Amino acid sequence: MERPDPDALLAAFRADLAAASDPAAVDEAVRVHTGKKSALKAALKGLGGLPPEDRKAVAQALNAARQEMEAEASAAKDAAAEQAIAARLDAEWQDLSLPGVSPQRGMRHPVLATEERLMNVMRRLGFTRVTGPEVEHPYYNFDALNIPEHHPARDMQDTFWVDGGLCLRSHTTTVQARVLQQKPPLPVKICAAGRVYRNEAVDATHLAMFHQFEAIWVERGLTFAHLKGTLALLAREIFGEDRRVRFKPKFYPYTEPSLGLDLACVMCDGAGCAACHGAGWVTVLGAGMVHPKVFREFGYDPSEVSGIAFGIGTSRFGAQAVGIVRARSLYEMDLRVHNAIHRGS
């Protein structure tokens, strides 16, 4: 038998080990050069064919070569693992000082945000919030508020009717009627907000379903000055000191005298545009002193008490507050509109 050459076996192993680029390739080189079918194993098995005087020296040389292979393989495997980790870190590196990528967050609807801002102002004046049903009895929606059957104002608030002679409320003043019916102790200072319904054509500033914010204050000695002062405070708090407002006479069956509050259109500052139908002003609320007939209906003496009441079209009010041309856009679920509102708020 030809004498094996441990140096040649070791050189062949080192050549394959140098070419190994990952731990798996290192394991493969070890298997090829030290495994059961390797040249090293064959040389160890063939020691019996050598002269007796050479067997010991050759066996020692082969075992030494095997030990070197194992040591070098272990070191190469560790180095390959470190390189693999370094390569992965380079591929997946991120600058942790950069802001994270977060999912898009929701935001409050501008109508609800407007309600909250209005309520925050009213709470400072001592008002509390109450609620009432949207499907209402005609008595609270019309009759109790000095709008008897066949009254022209009933046509102006044409609403939707449901089974049982009930209707969808056309204003949140129904909540005021329900509170006055309970005869709470004076002063009465309550607000109500929510959806209302009217059977009218839909355009840039009118909707068949919209939102209102209502308030009533009943006490002894209230005057028209209390009403104008309250409305002026609301306008300043929501729109700022610079927004122009004006009062104008109006008619409402449940208040006397009555007025409306106009805002200089936010889109044109009074010059006239599509948002205000060219008028330059947008009517956002109606108000007045509580009508004596309404007081008598609920057992109050109008010579003893007085009251102020107002109702805000929250949809139109909110559209003006955030600069939306069409109030209808607030209900169309267009994220571009809501994102614009969010950025501007």
Within 10 A of 294 (CB to CB), how many other CB atoms are there? Answer: 24
Q: Give dist(CA 330, CA 109) in Å, integer.
A: 8
Q: What pLDDT, on a 0 to 100 scale, did the predictor assign at position 164?
A: 87
Average pLDDT of the chain is 82
* 192: β partners: 214
Q: What pLDDT, on a 0 to 100 scale, did the predictor assign at position 342?
A: 52
Q: Give dist(CA 192, CA 101) in Å, integer.
A: 40
Most confident of 71-85, 95-109, 113-127, 158-172: 113-127
- Phi/psi for 242 (5° steps) reads -85, -15
Q: Give dist(CA 266, CA 274) in Å, integer.
A: 11
Say if residue 70's pLDDT is above 60: yes
pLDDT bucket at 344, cuts 50 / 70 / 90 = very low
pLDDT bucket at 215, cuts 50 / 70 / 90 = very high
pLDDT bucket at 190, cuts 50 / 70 / 90 = very high
CATH number listed for the domain at residues 110-344: 3.30.930.10
Report the candidate in 138, 269, 287, 280 with the shortest Cα–Cα distance to residue 212. Answer: 287
Q: Give dist(CA 275, CA 298) in Å, integer.
A: 40
Say if residue 174's pLDDT is above 80: yes
Q: What pLDDT, on a 0 to 100 scale, did the predictor assign at position 2?
A: 65
Say if residue 203's pLDDT is above 80: no
pLDDT bucket at 324, cuts 50 / 70 / 90 = confident
pLDDT bucket at 153, cuts 50 / 70 / 90 = low
Phi-psi region of 5 (alpha: psi -120 to 50; beta: other; left: phi over 0): beta
Say if residue 343's pLDDT is above 60: no
* 161: β partners: 167
Q: What pLDDT, on a 0 to 100 scale, did the predictor assign at position 248?
A: 92
* 252: β partners: 255
The more confidently predicted of residues 63 and 260 is 260
Burial class, 293, CB count within 10 angstroms (exposed 0-12 / middle 13-18 / buried 19+): middle
* 197: β partners: 209
Bond preceding residue 138 cis, omega within 30 of 0: no
How far lies 149's CA from each of 133, 141, 145, 230, 312, in Å? 21, 11, 11, 32, 25
Q: Give dist(CA 327, CA 109) in Å, integer.
A: 13
How far lies 64's CA from each of 149, 205, 223, 272, 284, in Å? 114, 95, 111, 99, 97
- pLDDT tens for each residue of 265-306: 777 766 777 667 777 888 888 999 999 999 999 999 999 999
**Helix ranges (DSSP H) in the chain:** 6-19, 23-34, 39-45, 52-91, 110-124, 138-141, 152-156, 173-181, 224-239, 292-297, 314-322, 335-344
- pLDDT tens for each residue of 113-128: 889 989 999 999 999 9
DSSP 8-state class, residue 301? -
- pLDDT tens for each residue of 4-27: 677 887 788 788 777 777 777 877
Say if residue 345's pLDDT is above 60: no
Q: What pLDDT, on a 0 to 100 scale, did the predictor assign at position 68?
A: 81
Q: What pLDDT, on a 0 to 100 scale, did the predictor assign at position 189?
A: 96
Q: What pLDDT, on a 0 to 100 scale, did the predictor assign at position 214?
A: 93
Say if residue 163's pLDDT is above 60: yes
Most confident of 7-11, 17-21, 79-83, 132-136: 132-136
Q: Per-residue pLDDT averaged across 317-325, rounded? A: 73
334 neighbors 242 (Cβ within 8 angstroms): no
Say if residue 82's pLDDT is above 90: no
Q: What pLDDT, on a 0 to 100 scale, did the predictor assign at position 205?
A: 57
Q: Where are the domains of the chain?
A: 6-91, 110-344
Q: What pLDDT, on a 0 to 100 scale, did the predictor assign at position 127?
A: 96
Q: Per-residue pLDDT averaged across 179-195, rounded? A: 93
